[in-house]
């Protein structure tokens, strides 16, 4: 009986160990499987890990806290102060007449409110600066979209070019075999074989360069979207799904309402105007109010000899500026210079926006209209290459015609892939300018 139980326990132990190893193997296989990433996945990862984008978000957060601090400066503040004053005494009299006694204890709560034109202007200026920072953060986000579009679809285009060059390399090798067989049969000269060999070597070199370009594009995208160094991923090829291009008038209307560069310039100009108001507030009086409640007595107690030490006092101060050696005037001059520069930048931003919209729309429209031509050229080049090879086998075409047809096919396919990326990038740039993405 004991032997039977030992045998069963041994079998169970082996099963557990084997099952654990199998589970580890499955986990390792799952961990090594490449991650499939769509464009939206790449954009979300880039927003999370992009240093420049998060720097813009940080600036917005800092501006938001500056606005909160400026708002808090307009509201009353409450502090509780504890103080002990010790004065050298002589014959029971205090040496320093500013003190109320030899020993003085102060323990008071203080409610303070200070208000001036500059304080109100500074709060409104902080609001405008927050709006500008928010707009710049949006600009950074939309700019990140264009960067991700270029990197993501650039990788897809590089993969397609790699496949095209691989196919061209195989075709060049096949053509070299055809020319060698024809030379053996005495149908072509040895020069044809040499030319085919050169063409095959060129295609192999192009294949190696295409692989290097694809690896570089993969690294660029990996650095952009991942927090760690990760190349174990694949992208979803949706390059052929081309979004439609709306009318120019729609983009123009959207740009006037949604362009974040223009909003940032407007907010910066408003902040500069309020900076002038804040500086001019230095010429005007400011008011401060203080209310104190607590004890101010010769003993640290609420009562002394039956006398209640707790009490309150209030002060109101109107501060009238008289002379500060021209500091206020200098600040007003500085604020005026900043306002004038902000106004010039706003005017330039308005002009630049109109020019950028026209240029971006023209680029997107040209790229979209050329795509059909590029696709047709690639299809015709493939047909020409096939027919030229058949004509060469039947002795109706020269080796130079075959080589030219092969080169034309590779160039046409690459041009088509570049055209697809060009349209995607141009459309993304147009959508960033108009806020329609």
Q: What is the pLDDT of residue 5?
A: 44
d(CA 31, CA 34): 8
Q: What is the pLDDT of residue 93?
A: 54
Predicted confidence band at 143 (pLDDT cuts at 50, 70, 90)?
Answer: confident
Q: What is the pLDDT of residue 161?
A: 92
Q: For the purposes of burial, counting CB atoms within 10 Å of the CB of 59, is it exposed (0-12), middle (13-18) or buried (19 or more)?
A: middle
Question: Among 241-250, 268-277, 321-330, 384-393, which stretch is predicted with the lowest mean pLDDT?
Answer: 241-250
In a domain, 12, yes or no: no
Contact between residue 54 and residue 151 where contact means Cβ atoms under 8 Å apart: no
Arithmetic mean of pLDDT, 253-278: 89
d(CA 24, CA 120): 65
Q: What is the pLDDT of residue 131?
A: 93
Predicted confidence band at 28 (pLDDT cuts at 50, 70, 90)?
Answer: very low
In a domain, 23, yes or no: no
User: Phi and psi at residue 291, in whole multiples of 5°?
Assistant: -125, 125
Average pLDDT, the chain: 86
Q: Look at the chain and report how many structural domains it folds into.
A: 1
Q: What is the pLDDT of residue 240?
A: 80
Question: Residue 309 pLDDT more than 50?
Answer: yes
Scanning the structure block, which residue is given the tokens 């992009």?
50
d(CA 287, CA 14): 86
Q: What is the pLDDT of residue 15?
A: 43
Whole-model pTM: value is: 0.73
Predicted confidence band at 30 (pLDDT cuts at 50, 70, 90)?
Answer: very low
Q: Shortest CA distance to 120 belongs to which of 158, 167, 175, 73?
A: 73
Predicted confidence band at 354 (pLDDT cuts at 50, 70, 90)?
Answer: confident
Question: Residue 95 pLDDT more than 60?
Answer: no
Boundaries of domain holding 223: 34-302+327-434
d(CA 206, CA 168): 9
- The CATH number of residue 247's host domain is 1.20.1600.10
Predicted confidence band at 9 (pLDDT cuts at 50, 70, 90)?
Answer: very low
Arithmetic mean of pLDDT, 374-378: 93
Predicted confidence band at 196 (pLDDT cuts at 50, 70, 90)?
Answer: confident
Question: Residue 33 pLDDT more than 60?
Answer: yes
User: Phi and psi at residue 308, in whole multiples of 5°?
Assistant: -80, 120
Q: What is the pLDDT of residue 55?
A: 92
Q: What is the pLDDT of residue 22?
A: 44
Question: Residue 238 pLDDT more than 60?
Answer: yes
Q: What is the pLDDT of residue 113?
A: 92
Work out whether strand 233-235 and strand 35-37 pair parallel, antiparallel, or are unpaired: parallel
In a domain, 310, yes or no: no
In a domain, 314, yes or no: no
* Percent of the residues in the chain that have a pLDDT greater than 70, as a whole number: 90
Packing angle, helices 327-393 and 260-280, rounded to 10: 170
**Cα 76–chain centre separation:** 39
Q: Shortest CA distance to 288 belongs to which of 312, 313, 314, 311?
A: 314
> What would the pLDDT profile of 200-230 be if each residue is shown by its tens digit?
899 899 999 999 999 999 999 999 999 888 8
In a domain, 398, yes or no: yes
In a domain, 317, yes or no: no
Q: What is the pLDDT of residue 97?
A: 56
Q: What is the pLDDT of residue 90?
A: 64
In a domain, 8, yes or no: no
d(CA 402, CA 386): 9
Q: Which segment, 16-20, 60-64, 192-196, 302-306, is predicted with the most confidence on average? A: 60-64
Question: Among 53-67, 68-82, 236-250, which stretch is predicted with the lowest mean pLDDT?
Answer: 236-250
In a domain, 159, yes or no: yes
């Amino acid at each position: 009986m004991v032997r039977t139980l030992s045998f069963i326990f041994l079998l169970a132990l082996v099963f557990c160990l084997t099952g654990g190893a199998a589970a580890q193997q499955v986990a390792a296989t799952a961990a090594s499987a490449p991650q499939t990433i769509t464009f939206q996945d790449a954009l979300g990862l880039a927003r999370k890990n992009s240093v420049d984008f998060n720097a813009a978000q940080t600036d917005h957060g800092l501006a938001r806290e500056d606005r909160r601090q400026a708002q808090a400066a307009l509201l009353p503040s409450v502090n509780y102060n504890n103080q002990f004053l010790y004065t050298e005494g002589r014959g029971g009299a205090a040496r320093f007449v500013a003190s109320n006694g030899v020993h003085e204890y102060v323990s008071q709560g203080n409610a303070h409110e200070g208000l001036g034109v500059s304080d109100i202007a500074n709060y409104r200026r902080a609001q405008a600066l927050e709006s500008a920072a928010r707009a710049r953060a949006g600009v950074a986000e939309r700019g990140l979209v264009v960067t991700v579009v270029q990197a993501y679809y650039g990788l897809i285009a590089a993969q397609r070019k790699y496949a095209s060059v691989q196919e061209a390399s195989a075709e060049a090798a096949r053509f070299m075999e055809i020319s060698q067989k024809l030379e053996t049969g005495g149908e072509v000269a040895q020069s044809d074989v040499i030319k085919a060999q050169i063409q095959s070597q060129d295609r192999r070199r192009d294949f190696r360069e295409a692989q290097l370009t694809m690896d570089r594009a993969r690294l660029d995208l990996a650095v952009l979207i991942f927090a760690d160094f990760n190349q174990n991923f694949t992208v979803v090829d949706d390059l052929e799904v081309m979004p439609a291009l709306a009318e120019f008038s729609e983009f123009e209307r959207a740009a006037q309402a949604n362009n974040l560069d223009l909003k940032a310039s407007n907010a910066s100009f408003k902040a500069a105007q309020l900076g002038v108001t804040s500086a001019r507030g230095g010429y005007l009086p400011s008011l401060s109010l203080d209310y104190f409640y607590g004890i101010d007595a010769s003993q640290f107690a609420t009562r002394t000899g039956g006398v209640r030490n707790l009490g309150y006092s209030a002060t109101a101060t109107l501060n009238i500026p008289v002379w500060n050696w021209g500091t206020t005037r200098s600040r007003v001059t500085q604020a005026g210079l900043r306002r004038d520069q902000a106004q010039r930048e706003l005017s330039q931003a308005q002009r630049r926006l109109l020019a950028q919209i026209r240029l971006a729309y023209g680029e997107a429209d040209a790229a979209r209209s050329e795509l059909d031509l590029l696709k047709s050229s690639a299809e015709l080049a493939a047909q020409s290459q096939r027919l030229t090879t058949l004509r060469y086998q039947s002795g109706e075409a020269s080796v130079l015609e075959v080589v030219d047809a092969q080169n034309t096919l590779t160039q046409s396919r690459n041009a088509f892939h570049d055209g697809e990326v060009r349209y995607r990038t141009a459309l993304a740039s147009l959508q960033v300018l108009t806020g329609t993405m």
